[in-house]
Amino acid sequence: MFYVAGYPVKLFKDNVTAQEGLSLNSHIGQECYRILSVGQIPQNTYAFQPDEVATIAVKAVLISYDFRTTHCDSVGSFAKIVYEIWTGSKKNGHPKWNQVDLNYALKGWEQYDLRPEIHRQEK
């Protein structure tokens, strides 16, 4: 089975015991490490998983056309909404939200800081 989700996954946390024999295996080709981030599932995240498991981390990105002159305020407003939702999700949502980095550097892409307080200072 191939499953993409942020740990802890409710399906595995609540419904699987060590006696059922499920295991998480790390069979990742070197090509994956070249283009994706390295990740780990910490030991004992699940009752059946005594050891840390190496994995890959799939990044989600928000990409916008370079609207610096015509729609910059709209893109900025949207980025502010994303930031506010992320902040609330870190406090009240799935634990994986605490590992989200809105300023993670993507290779070969120009990026802007999403923190609203930075943009207020620049104006």
Task: Dump pLDDT digits (tens) for 11-70.
Answer: 888 888 888 888 888 777 777 777 777 888 999 999 999 999 988 877 777 777 776 677
| Burial (CB count <10 Å: 0-12, 13-18, 19+), residue 36 | middle
pLDDT for 70: 74
Residue 94: other Cβ atoms inside 10 A = 14
Query: What DSSP line would sit under 86-111, residue for residue?
Result: HHHHHHHS-GGGGG--TTPPPTT---
33-41: long-range contacts at Cβ-Cβ below 8 A with a sequence spacing of 24 or more?
Answer: 41/7
Mean pLDDT for the stretch of residues 88-103 = 84
- Residue 40 CA to residue 96 CA, distance in Å, equals 12
Question: Averaged over 80-89, what is the pLDDT?
Answer: 87
Say which residue the tokens 């120009």 belong to: 110
Mean pLDDT of 76-104: 84
What pLDDT was estimated at residue 8? 87
Q: How far is residue 115 from each of residues 64, 68, 84, 93, measured CA to CA in Å? A: 16, 17, 9, 20
- Does residue 122 have a pLDDT over 50? no
Output 121 or 114, whichever has higher pLDDT. Answer: 114
**What mean pLDDT value characterizes the chain?**
78
Q: Which helix (H) or strand (E) is 41 found in, with range? A: strand 37-41
pTM above 0.75, yes or no: no
Radius of gyration of the chain (CA): 19
